[in-house]
Amino acid sequence: MTMRQGLAGGLVLVLALMAPLAIQSDFWLGFLITILLFAAMGMAWNILGGYAGQFSFGHAAFFGTGAYATSVLHIALGLNPWLGLLVAAAAGGTMGLLIGYLSFRYGLRGSYFALITLAFAEVLRILANTAGFTGGGVGLYLPLNIGVANMQFAGKAGYYYVALGLALASILIAWRLERSRLGAWLAAIRENEDAARALGVDTFACKLAAIGISGAMTGVGGWFYAHYYLYIDPEIAYGPGVSVEILLVAIVGGLGTVLGPLLGSVALHAAGELAQRLMGDTPGLNLIFYGVLLVVMVRLMPDGLAGLVRRWMRPAGGTQRA
């Protein structure tokens, strides 16, 4: 990390910490919370999709499992929401290991892996719709009980800091991963799995680790969602909407980069918000923009916004990956 990057990062962090002081509007704080939450989950997707090259179309499986794990235990046994974070991470991670074990054990790659993750999310959605303890199609309401110990804040600022913490933690995890041996192995698998195996990389264990970490981080995203909105249902938790939004954030931001998902989340949600401001609050409008953005990014900027920023930061024309 150069001096300049360190200074810029520090400045952004200070601004982020002070944001709730300057922004009094609940609307804009809520907007920032959404950006931070999806940045954190986009980062989780990026560890599996960007670094390891395994595209998941069903991250809702982890998001929903984290959300339901903490909510069900909170309602039934009075589990403290802060402890719920660990439970959600464990639940999401376990689901990741389970799906990963089955898929990678049988050598599914590429499109097949994308399809099976989607199918798993759909199975979980149907199960959540039928099972009794998930509240079925009606969903679950978490009881209102304001207090920091209960992770319920009077204003949005409290939630903002929790979401900021999640985003920072996920950036830290990605940053550490990129510099670790596992990160190098994952990159090798992404570039050429057979060659990586021939060189002695335990590709199965590495991919399993990636999906486990990714699942745990996404489960934590579900944990935050449940305690922030105090409501979940099968469509929110396991529907394709979440899976797609998480994937979009990572793709638009830039695959396999530390800051990509954060940039992607900012760009995506700003574009969606702008679309609604300009053309009215019609359902589906922001999603039209998301879809166009996805196609355009794959067509014109396959390395995402992070690639654009990197080129702009280094005009001398170095082309190697940072």
Looking at the Cβ atoms of 155 and 241, the one nearer to other proteins is 241
Q: Which stretch binds other proteins (CB under 8 A): 38-46, 75-83, 115-123, 153-161?
A: 115-123
Q: Which stretch binds other proteins (CB under 8 A): 16-24, 112-120, 205-213, 265-273?
A: 112-120
Q: Which residues contact 38 (CB under 8 A, 6 or more apart)?
A: 221, 245, 246, 249, 261, 265, 268, 269
Q: Which stretch binds other proteins (CB under 8 A): 32-40, 123-131, 263-271, 314-322?
A: 123-131
> Distance between CA 28 and CA 123 in Å, rounded?
36
Looking at the Cβ atoms of 224 and 290, the one nearer to other proteins is 290
CA angle (117, 264, 51) in 5-degree steps:
50
Looking at the Cβ atoms of 4 and 299, the one nearer to other proteins is 299
| 192 binds other proteins per the rule CB under 8 A | no
Phi, psi dihedrals of residue 12, rounded to the nearest 5°: -60, -40
x/- track of binding to other proteins for residues 19-58 (CB under 8 A): ------------------------------------x-x-
Q: Which stretch binds other proteins (CB under 8 A): 3-11, 176-184, 202-210, 278-286?
A: 278-286
| 137 binds other proteins per the rule CB under 8 A | no
For residue 292, the minimal CB distance to other proteins (Å) is 6
| 251 binds other proteins per the rule CB under 8 A | yes
| 118 binds other proteins per the rule CB under 8 A | yes
x/- track of binding to other proteins for residues 69-108 (CB under 8 A): ---------------------------------xx--x-x
| 208 binds other proteins per the rule CB under 8 A | no
Q: Which of residues 287-316 bind other proteins (CB under 8 A)?
A: 287-288, 290-295, 298-299, 302
Number of chain positions touching other proteins (CB under 8 A)? 40
Tell which one of 126, 138, 205, 270 touches other proteins (CB under 8 A): 126
User: The tokens of 118 are what?
Assistant: 């989607």
Phi, psi dihedrals of residue 141, rounded to the nearest 5°: -100, 125
Contact, 308 vs 253, CB < 8 A?
Answer: no
Looking at the Cβ atoms of 106 and 312, the one nearer to other proteins is 106
Task: Catalog residues that contact other proteins under the rule CB under 8 A.
Answer: 55, 57, 102-103, 106, 108, 110-112, 114-116, 118-120, 122-123, 126-127, 129-130, 240, 244, 247, 251, 282-285, 287-288, 290-295, 298-299, 302
